[in-house]
Amino acid sequence: MSESGEGHNSGAVNGGQLLAGIQRIERLEEEKSIIADDIKDVYAEYKGNGFDPKIMRQCVSIRAKDRKNADKRAEEETLLEIYMRALGMPPLFNQEGGE
């Protein structure tokens, strides 16, 4: 809370500051929408070149997990393999000869 009592619970609101924040969020949302459209265009382009967008999305997701926490990804993959074995399903990847 500021010294002038303009906190979020004081009843006083700095309209200029609030408006600046709202406008900033609106600009970012617009940019986010443009970027999302660009990403859709890339997937469509690569689909036209014979790639599967669903698998590409999985690759993007896995790479993001690796950047954030490779250990967590390894743990998730291990649990997935354990669950699949318990259900009598074949493994996703052949572990013996590499992936």
Q: Are residues 59 and 38 in the same domain?
A: no
pLDDT tens-digit readout, 52-78:
999 999 999 989 988 888 888 889 889
Question: 14 pLDDT band (50/70/90 cuts)?
Answer: very high
Asked if residues 91 and 81 have their Cβ atoms less than 8 Å apart, the reply is yes
Asked if residues 40 and 33 have their Cβ atoms less than 8 Å apart, the reply is no
Structure tokens at 68: 């954030």
Structure tokens at 71: 């250990």
Up-side HSE of residue 6: CA atoms within 13 Å toward CB?
A: 8
The pLDDT value recorded for residue 73 is 86
The pLDDT value recorded for residue 8 is 59
The pLDDT value recorded for residue 99 is 43
Q: Is residue 71 part of a domain?
A: yes
Q: Is residue 20 part of a domain?
A: yes
**What is the pTM (predicted TM-score) of this model?**
0.64
Q: Are residues 56 and 80 in the same domain?
A: yes
Structural domain for 67, as ranges: 52-92
The pLDDT value recorded for residue 70 is 83
- Count how many domains the chain has: 2
Q: Are residues 42 and 71 in the same domain?
A: no
Q: Is residue 43 part of a domain?
A: yes
Q: Is residue 97 part of a domain?
A: no
pLDDT tens-digit readout, 75-94:
988 999 999 999 999 988 76
The pLDDT value recorded for residue 98 is 45
Q: Is residue 8 part of a domain?
A: no
